Amino acid sequence: MTNIVVIGAGYSGLVAAHRLARRTDARVTLVNAAPDFVERVRLHQHAAGENLRVRPLAESVRGTGIELVIGWVRAIDPARKEIDVDGRVIGYDTLVYALGSVADDHGVPGVAENAHAVAGHADATRLRDLLPTKGTVTVVGAGLTGVEVATELAEQHPNLHVRVVAGHAPGSSLSANARRHLGRVFNRLGIEVRTGARVAKVLADSVVLTDCDELPTDITVWTTGFRVSPLAKEAGIRTDRDGRIVVDETQRSVSHPDIYAIGDSAVVRINGQELRMACATAEPMAEYTAKAIAARLRNQEPKPFGYRYYLQCISLGRKDALVQLVDAMDRPKKTVITGRVGALIKEGIVRGAGWTALR
């Protein structure tokens, strides 16, 4: 019997494991660090104090035939086709690599010691536990995660002064209509924005900019991007300079054909453009990869992976959101849906993503 091992049970790994168990006769083993599925796209809500539902992986895989192993993947040996999970060796015929990503501090001094992230459950919990009842929160980064974090904290904690510090204006990749709405929401929530800023270092009680300006803060949240696990690179699997696995048009590693990579861990280009790290791209990659592996087990060659963008959805607290319509290449169109309707659409998409992964 073919052994398929999926490492990482986030959005992509969990979808892949379920679809593989359904579509193939292989033995499917799913390895994850923690026993519960983490809805990463809600971690800013968790950090702001909302109690998220606990979703045990054991419940998700019950009755599917998937063997669940809870543990930390320490190494991959592609020559022996083995992985090391906390010292236990597990062999594979096909490996699906879905280890996601963590916050990237870009090597800025003091971030690891003095700033908090929302990229993982432990990070978001630490931020939630240390959030002061009053004072200033400085959110570094004004990309989509920074905007979601800043608005959520400002709405849930009106006694806090929320400041966003970034090189560019919040949501600079969005349409003019979207940016106008964002401006109104930031005003309503009293969020201060400091643009044109580069952070030189983070201290316990201030953020120091490269122009030597020092911004006093009670707590700092770091949201400037994600980086991936070094495991693939350490194993000699071909990666790009950021450590993401380089795959062919069927999500298969270009250096190791028995390894597939999906989600944030894989660098995928469609029409020459790199797909962004997103739940919105991770789940379709996983659905596709399960089909591709199943086809190859039947000695059929799968069609290449195809993807197009439709929307970007950004929450702005619990009562507002921005649904930005985009073209196939992720470029913003004029149309945006905002307010309660936007919030309902965003909530529906987040629920749908969790539902797709868990079932």
Ligand X SMILES: Cc1cc2nc3c(=O)[nH]c(=O)nc-3n(C[C@H](O)[C@H](O)[C@H](O)COP(=O)(O)OP(=O)(O)OC[C@H]3O[C@@H](n4cnc5c(N)ncnc54)[C@H](O)[C@@H]3O)c2cc1C
Q: Which residues bind ligand X (CB under 6 A)?
A: 8-13, 31-34, 38, 40-41, 43-44, 72-73, 98-100, 118-119, 145, 148, 229, 263-265, 277-280, 282, 313
As measured in angstroms, the least distance from the Cβ of 140 to ligand X is 14
As measured in angstroms, the least distance from the Cβ of 210 to ligand X is 26
Place of tokens 């994850």: 32
Nearer Cβ to ligand X, position 26 or 31?
Answer: 31
Nearer Cβ to ligand X, position 39 or 218?
Answer: 39
The identity of residue 39, as a single letter, is E
What is the number of the residue whose Cβ is closest to ligand X? 10
Assess contact for 19 and 58: CB atoms under 8 A. Answer: no
Return left, alpha or beta for 81; rule: phi > 0 is left, psi -120 to 50 is alpha, else beta: left
As measured in angstroms, the least distance from the Cβ of 40 to ligand X is 3
DSSP string for 126-146: HHHHH--SSEEEEEE--SHHH
Assess contact for 21 and 6: CB atoms under 8 A. Answer: no
As measured in angstroms, the least distance from the Cβ of 301 to ligand X is 26
As measured in angstroms, the least distance from the Cβ of 356 to ligand X is 12
Nearer Cβ to ligand X, position 186 or 222?
Answer: 222
Using CA atoms, how far residue 100 sits from 65, 107, 323, in Å, is 24, 20, 24
Using CA atoms, how far residue 325 sits from 174, 308, 346, in Å, is 9, 12, 13
Nearer Cβ to ligand X, position 72 or 310?
Answer: 72
Nearer Cβ to ligand X, position 33 or 178?
Answer: 33
